[in-house]
Structure 1
Amino acid sequence: MDLVVRRGGIDKRRVFDIRGNHDKYGVPRVGSNLDFFSLYSVNSQLHRLANIHSISLMGRSRSYIFLGIDDTMSIGIRGPSNLFGHPSDETIDAVEAELQYWNSSHSSSVTKVVFGHFPLSFTASSENGGRYEPLFARQSVAAYICGHLHAKFSKQLWRFHTAELAVSDGPKEPQRVKKQFWEWELGDWKEFRMIRILAVDEGKVSFLDMELSSPNQDSFQTTILITYPTDSRNMNHLSSVPQRQLLRNDINALVFSASPILNVTAKVLDSSRAFRIVEEVPLQPAASSSVSGKQAIFHAKWNAETYRNDSSAVRYWLQVSVVDSQGKETVSSSRPFSVEGKCAAEYPSTWLAFLVIGIRWEDLYSILLWSNICFLFILLSLPKILNIFMERSASYQKWAMSVSISSPIQQRRFLFSVLWFLIEGSMSRVIWLSLVVYLVYLLNFPWFWGYVSSENGDIAPMYMFGWRISSTVTMNKVGMIGNPDVMTVTLPFMYLVVTPLVLLIYSLFAERSAACLQCSFRKTRDSEQKVQLVAGAPLQSSEFISTSSVSRRTRRTFLLPACLVIACIHIRQCYSLMGAYGVSTVALSPAFSWVPPILLAAAICSTSMTW
Structure 2
Amino acid sequence: MASPISSAIFFFFFSSFSFAFALSWSSSIEVESKVVGGEGAEPVARESFPIDGDVAWVVQVSDLHLSSYHPDRADDLVRLLAPALRAIRPSLLLITGDITDAKNKRRTSTRQDISEWIQYSNSMEAIVKYSGIDKRRIFDIRGNHDKYGVPYVGHELDFFSTYSVSSQLRRPSTVQSISLVGDDRKYIFIGIDDTLSIGIRGPSNLFGHPTEKRMAVVESELQYWDVYPSDSVTKILFGHFPMSFTASSEKGQRYESLFARQSVSSYICGHLHGNFSRQLWRLHPSKLSSDVLVPRKAKGFWEWELGDWKESRLIRILSIDGGVVSFHDIELLRKHDVRDEFQTTIVITYPADSRNMNNMEQNNQSFRNDINALVFSTQQIINVTAKVFDSFREYKIMEEVPLQLISAVDKPLFHGKWNAESYRSASATRYLLQVSVVDSQGKETKSNLRPFSVEGKLAHYASTWLAYLVFQVEWQSLYMVLLWSNFSFLVVFLCLPKVLNYLMERNASYQKWATSHVISSPIKRRKSLFVLFWFLMEGSRNRILWFSMVMYLLCLLKLPWFWGYATSENENIAAMYLSGWRVQSPDSHAILDKLGNPDLMVITLPFMYLVVTPMFILIYSLFAERSSFYLQFCRKLRHKNGPVASNIELEQVTQFVPSNLTRGISTSSTCKFCQGWTRGSLLSGCLIITLVHFKICLALMLAYGVGPVSLSPALSWAPPVFLVATIYSTSANINTEQR
1:87 aligns to 2:207 (yes or no):
no
Task: State the match for 2:581 in structure 1.
Answer: 467
**Equivalent AA in structure 2 for residue 303 of structure 1:** N
CA separation of 1:407/1:304 partners in 2, compared to 1, >3 Å: closer, same or farther? same
Gaps of 5+ in 1: 532-547
4+ runs deviating over 4 angstroms:
105-108, 172-177, 288-291, 471-478, 528-531, 548-552
Deviations 1:405-458 (A, max 9, x none): 355444332211110110011111111111000000010100000111001111
Counterpart among 379, 398, 405 of residue 493 in structure 2: 379
Q: Distance in 1 between matches of 2:267 and 2:364?
A: 25
Counterpart among 303, 314, 327 of residue 419 in structure 2: 303
Q: Distance in 1 between matches of 2:638 and 2:472?
A: 62
Query: Where does 1:44-55 land on structure 2 (aligned, <5 Å)?
Result: 44-55=167-178
Counterpart among 529, 536, 540 of residue 415 in structure 1: 529
Q: CA deviation at 1:568?
A: 0.4
**Equivalent AA in structure 2 for residue 361 of structure 1:** W
Task: State the match for 2:265 in structure 1.
Answer: 142
**More divergent stretch after superposition (309-318 vs 518-527):** 518-527
**Equivalent AA in structure 1 for residue 413 of structure 2:** I
Q: CA deviation at 1:106?
A: 6.1
Q: CA deviation at 1:290?
A: 5.4
1:523 aligns to 2:637 (yes or no):
yes
Counterpart among 332, 335, 347 of residue 450 in structure 2: 335
SS at match of 1:262: strand
Q: Distance in 1 between matches of 2:542 and 2:705?
A: 36
* 8 Å contact from structure 1 (residues 268, 277) kept in 2: yes
Q: CA deviation at 1:321?
A: 1.2
* 8 Å contact from structure 2 (residues 583, 591) kept in 1: no
Q: Share of identical aligned residues, percent?
A: 59
Counterpart among 224, 239, 245 of residue 101 in structure 1: 224
**More divergent stretch after superposition (406-415 vs 11-20):** 406-415
CA separation of 1:382/1:237 partners in 2, compared to 1, >3 Å: closer, same or farther? farther
Q: Distance in 1 between matches of 2:376 and 2:728?
A: 72
CA RMSD of aligned residues (A): 2.3
What TM-score does the superposition give when structure 2 sets the normalisation length?
A: 0.76
Deviations 1:551-602 (A, max 9, x none): 9411012111111110000000000000110010101111100011000111
1:185 aligns to 2:305 (yes or no):
yes
Q: Distance in 2 between matches of 1:118 and 1:167?
A: 31
**Equivalent AA in structure 1 for residue 627 of structure 2:** S
SS at match of 1:594: helix
SS at match of 1:16: strand
Task: State the match for 1:204 in structure 2.
Answer: 324
**Equivalent AA in structure 2 for residue 76 of structure 1:** G
Counterpart among 241, 245, 267 of residue 118 in structure 1: 241
Task: State the match for 2:364 in structure 1.
Answer: 243
Q: Point out which structure has higher relative CO (alpha carbons under 8 A, 6+ apart).
A: 2
CA separation of 1:51/1:530 partners in 2, compared to 1, >3 Å: closer, same or farther? closer
Query: Where does 1:62-461 land on structure 2 (aligned, <5 Å)?
Result: 62-105=185-228, 109-165=232-288, 167=290, 177-216=297-336, 217-218=338-339, 219-236=341-358, 238-239=360-361, 243=364, 247-288=367-408, 296-307=412-423, 309-341=424-456, 343-461=457-575
SS at match of 2:140: coil
CA separation of 1:517/1:173 partners in 2, compared to 1, >3 Å: closer, same or farther? same
SS at match of 2:200: coil
Q: CA deviation at 1:236?
A: 3.2
**Equivalent AA in structure 2 for residue 251 of structure 1:** I
Q: Distance in 2 between matches of 1:554 and 1:498?
A: 24
* 8 Å contact from structure 1 (residues 182, 236) kept in 2: yes
SS at match of 2:530: helix
Q: Distance in 1 between matches of 2:487 and 2:549?
A: 13
CA separation of 1:346/1:177 partners in 2, compared to 1, >3 Å: closer, same or farther? same
**Equivalent AA in structure 2 for residue 558 of structure 1:** S
Task: State the match for 2:83 in structure 1.
Answer: none
**Equivalent AA in structure 1 for residue 138 of structure 2:** V
**Equivalent AA in structure 1 for residue 722 of structure 2:** L
Q: Distance in 1 between matches of 2:256 and 2:475?
A: 14
Deviations 1:358-390 (A, max 9, x none): 111111111111100000000000110010111
Task: State the match for 2:22 in structure 1.
Answer: none
Q: Distance in 2 between matches of 1:509 and 1:263?
A: 81
Q: Distance in 2 between matches of 1:395 and 1:108?
A: 78
Q: Distance in 2 between matches of 1:530 and 1:95?
A: 83
Q: Distance in 1 between matches of 2:719 and 2:224?
A: 56
Gaps of 5+ in 2: 1-123, 646-670
Task: State the match for 2:88 in structure 1.
Answer: none
Q: CA deviation at 1:305?
A: 2.2
Aligned length: 584
Deviations 1:346-368 (A, max 9, x none): 22223222211211111111111
SS at match of 1:339: coil
**Equivalent AA in structure 2 for residue 179 of structure 1:** K
Task: State the match for 2:732 in structure 1.
Answer: 609
Q: Distance in 2 between matches of 1:418 and 1:470?
A: 48
CA separation of 1:529/1:369 partners in 2, compared to 1, >3 Å: closer, same or farther? closer
Counterpart among 625, 628, 643 of residue 511 in structure 1: 625
Q: Distance in 2 between matches of 1:406 and 1:363?
A: 50
CA separation of 1:87/1:194 partners in 2, compared to 1, >3 Å: closer, same or farther? same
